[in-house]
Amino acid sequence: MTPRWAAPSIRARLTAWYAIVLTAMMIVYAAATFVAVRHEFLEQFDDQLHEDFETAEGLLIRTADGRVTWASDRRHGPDGDEGRLYEVWSADGKQIHRSGASVALPPIALASAGSSYRYETVAAGPERWRTLSAPVSIDGHAVVLRVSRSEQLLRYQLGEILLVLVLGLPPVVVLAGVGGSLLARRLLAPIEQLASEARRITAERLHERLTVSNPNDEIGRLTAVMNDAFARLESSFDQLRRFTADASHELRTPLAVVRGIGEAAVAQRRNPAEYEEAIGSLLEEVDRMTNLVDTLLRLSHADAGSIRLSREPLDLGQLAREVASSLAILAEERHQTLAVDTADGVIASADRLVLREAVTNVLDNAIKYSPVGSTVAIQLARLDHQALLAIADEGPGIATEHRERIFDRFFRVDEARSRDGGGAGLGLAIAKWAVDMHGGQITVGQRPGGGAEFRILLPLAHPASAAEGPHTTQLHLGGPL
């Protein structure tokens, strides 16, 4: 089995990042400090060397016998000073005087002595010496003076500084880690709190919301987004609950009817004709329930996003005429006239069966809810890039306050009246779903002479896509209808 490493927590990562960045900054800072200090030390060292040189140049004299020595008024002779060395070289490269440390430095390179000050670092065994040489004239005699200082003390001091800087780093790293961890904890505390609050909100307590401490910071915005999500969840849950309750309620009535018919039939002995009638009524109720259950199943599939549209170029005028002729029998029963007025060649890219159901439901309602002998008008027109299919009747119309909810599931304006017609209040919900799926819109308005007018707007098929032939689109539904 391969080992599974848990990803480190945000707090651990923040702490690590903080420590790494701070340490890197400290290293850069320490290195820069050291370089600057070293530069300054070396410069000062050369300045001191130069001072030594000038002092020596002023104090060296030539005795009558040609020797070079210190002037007699010099109180502190450099002899015995282990850190410094003064040498005087003759023009032909012979050492004619030396005083100070008893160290053996390499002989002076006359050719390179030149005419100006020459700084050099030379090695004397394990030690390094800094030298300054230049031609001088002692009492009118041209010689080369070389002043040297041991770099040992300087190196030692620089080493100390470096040591302090390096030794200072580990505590800084530790402090950075601790500081980073505390900082991360402080930063993440609101998230921890958010998590524990969110845990409290369950399906039963979806009405609760997270507290937004500061709506302007990142956590505040995250909280607001989560609250929005909870609000949407709550409304979806409510819808689902209502749907289930309504569906159960719808099924109860036909079941009660079935029970009633059955009980009445077995209550006493009856003749075959009566039994036949009872069974006929039972089958009718069963049909009604089957329809309802089918519709509910379709809606739940639609909710789950598992219904695929199989689109093809569809002549909407043809579709309207088809639906009208299939429902003509219902209109005839009620002595109604179906006035179909459709433009030709209005093509949408649509799923024939799904769209046909939408139009059927709307037309069926128009016939169902308008009076005997009235006229139902079906009109199709082309508007810019859209097709408009209007179905108008001479019925009671739909009051303004109901127009919003008319497309909700199980919504019926008049429970008693609709139930007689056999509707469960799902027809328009399905119609809306179908039209929405095609990128269209369904609205309801009032006809000028009274009566309802349902308007279905659908995007027209692009000429190019119309030529492509049938194709299938996967649907993704956002939520319950």
Binding interface with ligand ADP (CB under 6 A): 361, 365-366, 369, 393, 395-396, 398, 406, 411-414, 418, 423-429, 452
CB of 329 to ligand ADP, least distance (A): 18
Q: How far apart are CA 87 and CA 23, in angstroms?
A: 49
Give 136 or 413: the residue with its C-beta nearer to ligand ADP: 413
Confirm if 180 and 14 have CB atoms less than 8 A apart: yes
Minimal distance in Å, beta carbon 373 to ligand ADP? 16
Complex with ligand ADP: residue 148 or 418, whichever CB lies closer: 418
Between 307 and 377, whose beta carbon lies closer to ligand ADP? Answer: 377
Report, in Å, the least distance between residue 423 CB and ligand ADP: 2
Q: Which is nearer to ligand ADP, 101 or 367 (CB)?
A: 367
Residue closest to ligand ADP (Cβ) = 423
Q: Which is nearer to ligand ADP, 133 or 418 (CB)?
A: 418
d(CA 433, CA 105): 101
* Closest distance of CB 365 from ligand ADP, Å: 3
Q: Are 193 and 19 in contact (CB under 8 A)?
A: no
Closer to ligand ADP by CB, 311 or 432: give it: 432
- Taking the least distance from each CB to ligand ADP, the nearer of 40 and 333 is 333
Minimum Å distance from CB 362 to ligand ADP?
A: 7
CB of 253 to ligand ADP, least distance (A): 13
Minimum distance of ligand ADP from residue 320's CB (angstroms): 16
Minimum CB separation of residue 478 from ligand ADP in Å reads 20
Most distant pair of Cα atoms in the chain: their distance: 167
Give 377 or 429: the residue with its C-beta nearer to ligand ADP. 429
| CB contact at 8 A, 219 and 190 | yes
Q: At 22, list the tokens.
A: 């701070």
Q: Report the residue number, 267 or 372, with the smaller CB distance to ligand ADP.
A: 372
Q: Which is nearer to ligand ADP, 241 or 417 (CB)?
A: 417
Q: Closest approach of Cβ 243 to ligand ADP, in Å? A: 14
Nearer to ligand ADP, 87 or 408 (CB): 408
Report the 3 state secondary structure along the chain.
Answer: CCCCCCCCCHHHHHHHHHHHHHHHHHHHHHHHHHHHHHHHHHHHHHHHHHHHHHHHHHHEEECCCCCEEECCCCCCCCCCCCCEEEEEEECCCCEEEEEECCCCCCCCCHHHHCCCCEEEEEEECCEEEEEEEEEEEECCEEEEEEEEEECHHHHHHHHHHHHHHHHHHHHHHHHHHHHHHHHHHHHHHHHHHHHHHHHHCCHHHCCCCCCCCCCCCHHHHHHHHHHHHHHHHHHHHHHHHHHHHHHHHHHHHHHHHHHHHHHHHHHCCCCHHHHHHHHHHHHHHHHHHHHHHHHHHHHHHHHHCCCEEEEEEEEHHHHHHHHHHHHHHHHHHCCCEEEEEECCCCEEEECHHHHHHHHHHHHHHHHHHCCCCCEEEEEEEEECCEEEEEEECCCCCCCHHHHCHHHCCCCCCCHHHHHHHCCCCCHHHHHHHHHHHCCCEEEEEECCCCCEEEEEEEECCCHHHHHHCCEEEECCCCCCC
Q: State the nearest-atom distance from the C-beta of 446 to ligand ADP, in Å.
A: 10
- Residue with tokens 């508007």, as numbered in its chain: 383
d(CA 70, CA 85): 13
Smallest distance, ligand ADP to C-beta of residue 319, A: 19
